[in-house]
Structure 1
């Protein structure tokens, strides 16, 4: 297990450096003038000259990349603007602030949205899928199949708009979506994010229901499950100890990808409900031509997916003893 952890950590670090290099060269080597993209839409000549000097565009591209990568770990000084402490993901010339500070300010919103929705769609999706598999061909199975098909077909902006209109503006059943820090007001935090949680969970619950049902049906027909039943084990033990463990492997796999993607920014959900998270930040970066912020949000999204995949790989052996990590 220790050897696996070391190898996986090294592979994750190499992957992150590779993603950083690809992202940097994509944004800095391909454009004819990266300074124009980093300066923002309103960029006076004196600011443009300052941006070019701070980005080191007079240096070779590899030297620019090394300086940018070193700044992530050691910080970097931007003459005329200020010092960007480590981890320095760049300096936003539009906001006049280090990008990492802006991301950390938006991260609690995205994490709150992600974790709350994940608890809902993982719980309901897996539970509904298991019940549908155990009652294969019965009314519950058919209803769950139809509901999951409908849920997977609708879009977040469509369901979100309807939910806002009927539950918030017309029905007055729920408060308008907003973010309140959990440490300040736990009740306000939960009520303000309840509607975004439910809407986001509707889409993902459908996928987890279908995945759990199909995998559970397959595992229930495996030889080791039939052997456990033949030995007279209680149905609950057979389902939870044997069939469910095999079912959780693909569920954990897609959950890791989904969680990493949501941490990287639920752009449509945050935009629909007006939440100022990382996804909304990336949209704003595109709108205002804020290249450093856009690069940082891309790296955060990619890094979240890579790290979550590494965590998922480590969980395989915990969930299923047949998996050996060496």
Structure 2
């Protein structure tokens, strides 16, 4: 059996062989003998639904809180915005997911405990099963992004083009949205591209494992548990 799988070959030879099998669609799992590419495509809708939904949620909330915090920087209670920033660094994804699952699913019975419903089957049930996973990933980024946006907006508010726009008689609301917010979003969008890749590559694995979402992350987590190399390389 080991000879058929090529396990008796040097590690670099196995790696090159598996890379070739990835591009030819012939990569096979050691543990289940299933085609890895087919399993990845099968779990891709759940992973994309999780990551894209969470990304949209954290961006919308971050823009909202960051904008309000910058506009009313002296009236808004800053710790309410700063606390989630610390949460991004000290709260593990699996811990937050377990807490939400325990209190909101098992105790309060407000949300399903696990599973994924395809969007094409029932859009409402699809969103209902993903609310807690979305919230788990979004909470870790909302505070950080809102803080970055707030800082950028406060800097842009003192720029010459903003003062010129005010001097032309443009309303303060239009100045904030068209001139301040738009220019302040550039570094936020850059960070979003980096963090979205991190969510797909890391956060999705832990979140899908805790919530038992049948996606690429859960597939990778199971492969880690069985030390199955082909799915991880795939």
Give the structure-2-normalised TM-score.
Answer: 0.88
SS in 1 for 2:98: helix
Displacement of 1:263 in angstroms is 2.5
Instruction: Note if 1:281 corresponds to 2:219.
Output: yes
Secondary structure of 1:212's aligned partner: helix
> Residues 113 and 197 of structure 1 are in contact (CA less than 8 Å); yes or no, is this contact kept in structure 2?
yes
1:226 to 153, 163, 178: 163
CA RMSD of aligned residues (A): 2.4
1:1-326 matches, within 5 Å, as: 47-52=1-6, 57=9, 61=13, 65=16, 68-73=18-23, 75=24, 85=25, 88=26, 90-138=27-75, 140-149=76-85, 151-152=87-88, 153-265=90-202, 266-296=204-234
User: Which 5+ residue runs of structure 1 have no aligned equivalent?
Assistant: 1-46, 76-84, 297-326
- Per-residue CA deviations over 1:56-110 (Å, capped at 9, x if unaligned) read 948x84x973x6555444x2xxxxxxxxx4xx5x221222122111111111111
Change (3 A) 1:289 1:123: same
Q: 1:182: how far off?
A: 0.6
Q: How many correspondences in the alignment? A: 232
Unaligned segments of structure 2, at least 5 residues: none
Greater gyration radius: 1
Separation in structure 2 between the aligned mates of residue 261 and residue 182 of structure 1, nearest angstrom: 24
Other-structure match for 1:5: none
Contact 1:135 1:141 in 2 (8 A): no
Tell me if structure 1 keeps the 8 A contact 2:2–2:8: no
